[in-house]
Structure 1
Protein backbone atom coordinates (compact mmCIF):
# COMPACT_ATOMS: atom_id res chain seq x y z
CA UNK A 1 0.00 0.00 0.00
CA UNK A 2 1.34 3.42 -0.92
CA UNK A 3 1.96 6.10 1.69
CA UNK A 4 -0.85 8.39 0.55
CA UNK A 5 -3.36 5.53 0.54
CA UNK A 6 -2.31 4.31 4.00
CA UNK A 7 -2.46 7.85 5.36
CA UNK A 8 -5.88 8.55 3.80
CA UNK A 9 -7.39 5.37 5.23
CA UNK A 10 -6.12 6.10 8.72
CA UNK A 11 -7.23 9.73 8.45
CA UNK A 12 -10.73 8.71 7.38
CA UNK A 13 -11.13 5.90 9.93
CA UNK A 14 -9.80 8.02 12.75
CA UNK A 15 -11.75 11.06 11.60
CA UNK A 16 -8.62 13.17 11.89
CA UNK A 17 -8.67 16.78 10.76
CA UNK A 18 -5.41 16.65 8.83
CA UNK A 19 -2.77 14.40 7.37
CA UNK A 20 -0.34 15.68 9.99
CA UNK A 21 -2.63 14.54 12.81
CA UNK A 22 -3.08 11.12 11.20
CA UNK A 23 0.67 10.79 10.65
CA UNK A 24 1.37 11.61 14.29
CA UNK A 25 -1.03 8.89 15.41
CA UNK A 26 0.40 6.34 12.96
CA UNK A 27 3.89 7.02 14.24
CA UNK A 28 2.77 6.76 17.88
CA UNK A 29 0.98 3.43 17.43
CA UNK A 30 3.85 1.89 15.47
CA UNK A 31 6.36 3.17 18.04
CA UNK A 32 4.43 1.44 20.84
CA UNK A 33 4.22 -1.77 18.80
CA UNK A 34 7.98 -1.66 18.25
CA UNK A 35 8.57 -1.54 21.99
CA UNK A 36 6.50 -4.71 22.42
CA UNK A 37 8.02 -6.94 19.71
CA UNK A 38 11.53 -8.11 18.90
CA UNK A 39 13.75 -6.03 16.65
CA UNK A 40 13.41 -8.72 13.96
CA UNK A 41 9.61 -8.63 14.12
CA UNK A 42 9.63 -4.83 14.00
CA UNK A 43 11.98 -4.85 11.00
CA UNK A 44 9.80 -7.37 9.19
CA UNK A 45 6.71 -5.27 9.74
CA UNK A 46 8.60 -2.12 8.74
CA UNK A 47 9.59 -3.74 5.45
CA UNK A 48 5.89 -3.99 4.56
CA UNK A 49 5.05 -0.33 5.28
CA UNK A 50 5.70 2.78 3.22
CA UNK A 51 8.19 5.42 4.31
CA UNK A 52 8.17 7.32 6.59
CA UNK A 53 5.88 5.07 8.66
CA UNK A 54 8.45 2.27 8.70
CA UNK A 55 10.85 4.54 10.62
CA UNK A 56 8.85 4.29 13.85
CA UNK A 57 9.43 0.54 13.82
CA UNK A 58 13.15 0.83 13.12
CA UNK A 59 14.09 2.97 16.12
CA UNK A 60 16.70 1.39 18.33
CA UNK A 61 15.18 -0.20 21.40
CA UNK A 62 16.19 -2.62 24.10
CA UNK A 63 14.45 -5.88 24.80
CA UNK A 64 10.76 -6.23 23.95
CA UNK A 65 8.54 -5.14 26.79
CA UNK A 66 5.55 -7.12 27.95
CA UNK A 67 2.42 -5.13 28.70
CA UNK A 68 -1.33 -5.43 28.37
CA UNK A 69 -4.00 -3.52 26.51
CA UNK A 70 -4.36 -0.74 29.10
CA UNK A 71 -0.64 -0.03 29.04
CA UNK A 72 -0.58 -0.22 25.24
CA UNK A 73 -3.31 2.42 25.05
CA UNK A 74 -1.73 4.51 27.81
CA UNK A 75 1.50 4.63 25.82
CA UNK A 76 -0.31 5.60 22.63
CA UNK A 77 -2.12 8.32 24.58
CA UNK A 78 1.16 9.52 26.04
CA UNK A 79 2.71 9.76 22.57
CA UNK A 80 -0.24 11.63 21.07
CA UNK A 81 -1.33 13.70 24.06
CA UNK A 82 -4.78 12.09 23.95
CA UNK A 83 -6.95 10.47 26.58
CA UNK A 84 -6.91 6.64 26.79
CA UNK A 85 -10.38 6.34 25.22
CA UNK A 86 -9.24 8.49 22.30
CA UNK A 87 -6.06 6.41 22.06
CA UNK A 88 -8.23 3.31 21.65
CA UNK A 89 -9.99 4.94 18.68
CA UNK A 90 -6.66 6.10 17.27
CA UNK A 91 -5.03 2.69 17.62
CA UNK A 92 -8.01 1.04 15.96
CA UNK A 93 -7.75 3.38 12.96
CA UNK A 94 -4.07 2.53 12.50
CA UNK A 95 -4.21 -1.19 13.24
CA UNK A 96 -7.28 -1.90 11.11
CA UNK A 97 -5.50 -0.18 8.22
CA UNK A 98 -2.36 -2.17 8.95
CA UNK A 99 -4.32 -5.40 8.40
CA UNK A 100 -5.02 -4.23 4.85
CA UNK A 101 -1.48 -3.06 4.17
CA UNK A 102 0.59 -6.08 5.17
CA UNK A 103 0.30 -9.82 4.50
CA UNK A 104 -2.04 -11.76 6.77
CA UNK A 105 0.82 -13.88 8.11
CA UNK A 106 2.56 -10.75 9.36
CA UNK A 107 -0.62 -9.57 11.08
CA UNK A 108 -1.11 -12.99 12.66
CA UNK A 109 2.45 -12.92 14.06
CA UNK A 110 1.85 -9.45 15.46
CA UNK A 111 -1.45 -10.50 17.02
CA UNK A 112 0.29 -13.45 18.65
CA UNK A 113 2.77 -11.07 20.32
CA UNK A 114 0.25 -8.51 21.52
CA UNK A 115 -2.21 -9.09 24.37
CA UNK A 116 -5.22 -11.16 23.24
CA UNK A 117 -7.59 -8.35 24.18
CA UNK A 118 -6.04 -6.14 21.47
CA UNK A 119 -7.52 -8.20 18.60
CA UNK A 120 -10.54 -5.93 18.27
CA UNK A 121 -8.21 -2.97 17.56
CA UNK A 122 -7.25 -4.75 14.35
CA UNK A 123 -10.87 -4.92 13.28
CA UNK A 124 -11.27 -8.47 14.58
CA UNK A 125 -13.81 -9.78 17.03
CA UNK A 126 -13.58 -8.58 20.60
CA UNK A 127 -12.43 -11.24 23.07
CA UNK A 128 -14.92 -12.84 25.43
Structure 2
Protein backbone atom coordinates (compact mmCIF):
# COMPACT_ATOMS: atom_id res chain seq x y z
CA UNK A 1 0.00 0.00 0.00
CA UNK A 2 1.44 3.39 -0.95
CA UNK A 3 1.02 6.74 0.81
CA UNK A 4 -2.01 7.85 -1.21
CA UNK A 5 -3.79 4.52 -0.66
CA UNK A 6 -2.99 4.51 3.06
CA UNK A 7 -4.10 8.10 3.67
CA UNK A 8 -7.13 7.62 1.42
CA UNK A 9 -8.22 4.58 3.40
CA UNK A 10 -7.82 6.40 6.72
CA UNK A 11 -9.66 9.44 5.34
CA UNK A 12 -12.51 7.20 4.23
CA UNK A 13 -12.70 5.23 7.47
CA UNK A 14 -12.60 8.32 9.67
CA UNK A 15 -14.77 10.36 7.30
CA UNK A 16 -12.32 13.26 7.42
CA UNK A 17 -12.82 16.18 5.04
CA UNK A 18 -9.32 16.39 3.61
CA UNK A 19 -5.81 15.06 3.33
CA UNK A 20 -4.45 17.57 5.85
CA UNK A 21 -6.72 16.34 8.62
CA UNK A 22 -5.96 12.74 7.67
CA UNK A 23 -2.19 13.17 7.77
CA UNK A 24 -2.50 15.03 11.08
CA UNK A 25 -4.45 12.09 12.56
CA UNK A 26 -1.93 9.54 11.29
CA UNK A 27 1.02 11.62 12.49
CA UNK A 28 -0.52 12.19 15.94
CA UNK A 29 -1.20 8.51 16.54
CA UNK A 30 2.01 7.07 15.14
CA UNK A 31 4.30 9.67 16.70
CA UNK A 32 2.71 9.12 20.10
CA UNK A 33 2.93 5.36 19.67
CA UNK A 34 6.60 5.77 18.71
CA UNK A 35 7.20 7.68 21.93
CA UNK A 36 5.71 4.83 23.96
CA UNK A 37 7.64 1.89 22.47
CA UNK A 38 11.39 1.25 22.18
CA UNK A 39 13.14 2.58 19.08
CA UNK A 40 13.84 -0.88 17.62
CA UNK A 41 10.20 -1.87 17.91
CA UNK A 42 9.13 1.41 16.31
CA UNK A 43 11.48 0.72 13.40
CA UNK A 44 10.12 -2.81 13.00
CA UNK A 45 6.55 -1.52 13.04
CA UNK A 46 7.35 1.25 10.55
CA UNK A 47 9.23 -0.99 8.10
CA UNK A 48 6.05 -2.16 6.34
CA UNK A 49 4.44 1.28 6.16
CA UNK A 50 4.62 3.71 3.23
CA UNK A 51 7.88 5.68 3.20
CA UNK A 52 6.17 9.00 3.98
CA UNK A 53 4.46 7.50 7.05
CA UNK A 54 7.24 5.37 8.53
CA UNK A 55 9.00 8.54 9.69
CA UNK A 56 6.26 9.34 12.24
CA UNK A 57 6.96 6.54 14.75
CA UNK A 58 10.71 6.70 14.17
CA UNK A 59 12.33 9.96 13.01
CA UNK A 60 9.67 12.29 14.41
CA UNK A 61 10.22 10.91 17.92
CA UNK A 62 12.80 12.53 20.18
CA UNK A 63 12.56 9.96 22.99
CA UNK A 64 11.39 6.39 22.53
CA UNK A 65 10.33 4.02 25.31
CA UNK A 66 8.57 6.57 27.49
CA UNK A 67 6.40 5.09 30.21
CA UNK A 68 2.90 6.54 30.09
CA UNK A 69 -0.58 5.11 30.44
CA UNK A 70 -3.54 4.96 28.08
CA UNK A 71 -4.95 8.25 29.35
CA UNK A 72 -1.69 10.06 28.60
CA UNK A 73 -1.51 8.39 25.17
CA UNK A 74 -4.99 9.62 24.26
CA UNK A 75 -4.22 13.09 25.65
CA UNK A 76 -1.09 13.39 23.53
CA UNK A 77 -2.89 12.21 20.39
CA UNK A 78 -5.76 14.65 21.04
CA UNK A 79 -3.38 17.56 21.60
CA UNK A 80 -1.34 16.82 18.48
CA UNK A 81 -4.42 16.34 16.37
CA UNK A 82 -6.31 19.27 17.90
CA UNK A 83 -9.44 17.24 18.70
CA UNK A 84 -11.36 15.90 21.72
CA UNK A 85 -10.02 12.91 23.63
CA UNK A 86 -12.87 10.53 22.71
CA UNK A 87 -12.41 11.27 19.02
CA UNK A 88 -8.62 10.88 19.36
CA UNK A 89 -9.05 7.44 20.94
CA UNK A 90 -11.27 6.36 18.04
CA UNK A 91 -8.85 7.74 15.45
CA UNK A 92 -5.98 5.85 17.10
CA UNK A 93 -7.98 2.60 17.04
CA UNK A 94 -8.79 2.93 13.34
CA UNK A 95 -5.22 3.90 12.41
CA UNK A 96 -3.76 1.00 14.41
CA UNK A 97 -6.20 -1.33 12.65
CA UNK A 98 -4.91 -0.30 9.22
CA UNK A 99 -1.30 -0.49 10.44
CA UNK A 100 -2.05 -4.00 11.73
CA UNK A 101 -3.22 -5.00 8.25
CA UNK A 102 0.09 -3.77 6.77
CA UNK A 103 2.65 -5.24 9.17
CA UNK A 104 3.62 -8.83 9.89
CA UNK A 105 1.73 -10.43 12.76
CA UNK A 106 5.00 -10.73 14.69
CA UNK A 107 5.50 -6.94 14.58
CA UNK A 108 1.96 -6.38 15.82
CA UNK A 109 2.57 -8.84 18.65
CA UNK A 110 5.81 -7.01 19.49
CA UNK A 111 3.80 -3.80 19.75
CA UNK A 112 1.33 -5.44 22.11
CA UNK A 113 4.20 -6.82 24.17
CA UNK A 114 5.64 -3.33 24.57
CA UNK A 115 2.50 -2.22 26.36
CA UNK A 116 2.86 -4.25 29.59
CA UNK A 117 0.17 -2.22 31.26
CA UNK A 118 -2.29 -4.12 29.09
CA UNK A 119 -2.18 -6.82 31.74
CA UNK A 120 -2.74 -4.30 34.56
CA UNK A 121 -4.78 -1.68 32.73
CA UNK A 122 -7.40 -2.95 30.30
CA UNK A 123 -7.50 0.51 28.77
CA UNK A 124 -4.45 -0.24 26.60
CA UNK A 125 -6.51 -3.04 25.09
CA UNK A 126 -8.78 -0.33 23.68
CA UNK A 127 -6.02 0.58 21.22
CA UNK A 128 -6.55 -2.81 19.60
CA UNK A 129 -10.35 -2.87 19.89
CA UNK A 130 -10.95 -2.67 16.13
CA UNK A 131 -8.18 -5.19 15.36
CA UNK A 132 -9.50 -7.63 17.96
CA UNK A 133 -13.06 -7.26 16.67
CA UNK A 134 -11.93 -8.59 13.30
CA UNK A 135 -10.88 -5.32 11.72
CA UNK A 136 -12.72 -2.35 10.37
CA UNK A 137 -15.78 -3.12 8.32
CA UNK A 138 -17.67 -0.57 6.30
CA UNK A 139 -21.18 -0.50 7.64
CA UNK A 140 -23.97 -1.20 5.20
CA UNK A 141 -26.08 1.82 4.43
Q: TM (normalized to structure 2)?
A: 0.81
Structure 1 unmatched runs, 5+: none
Alignment of 1:87-126 (within 5 A): 87-114=88-115, 115-116=117-118, 117-122=123-128, 123=130, 124=132
State whether residues 34 and 56 of structure 1, in contact with CA within 8 Å, keep that contact through their aligned partners in structure 2.
yes
Runs of 4+ that moved beyond 6 A: none
Aligned partner of 1:24 in structure 2 is 24
> What is the CA distance between 1:63 and its match in structure 2?
4.7
State whether residues 34 and 64 of structure 2, in contact with CA within 8 Å, keep that contact through their aligned partners in structure 1.
no
State whether residues 25 and 80 of structure 1, in contact with CA within 8 Å, keep that contact through their aligned partners in structure 2.
yes
Q: TM (normalized to structure 1)?
A: 0.88
**How many matched pairs?**
125
* Secondary structure of 2:62's aligned partner: coil
> What is the CA distance between 1:119 and its match in structure 2?
3.0
Alignment of 1:1-128 (within 5 A): 1-59=1-59, 60-114=61-115, 115-116=117-118, 117-122=123-128, 123=130, 124=132
* Alpha-carbon distance change, 63 to 22 in structure 1, aligned in 2, over 3 angstroms: closer
Structure 2 unmatched runs, 5+: 134-141
State whether residues 6 and 101 of structure 1, in contact with CA within 8 Å, keep that contact through their aligned partners in structure 2.
no
CA displacement 1:5-63 (0-9 Å, x = unmatched): 21122111211111221111101101001101111111111211102111112225235
Larger Cα-atom Rg: 2
Q: Give the aligned CA root-mean-square deviation in angstroms.
A: 1.5
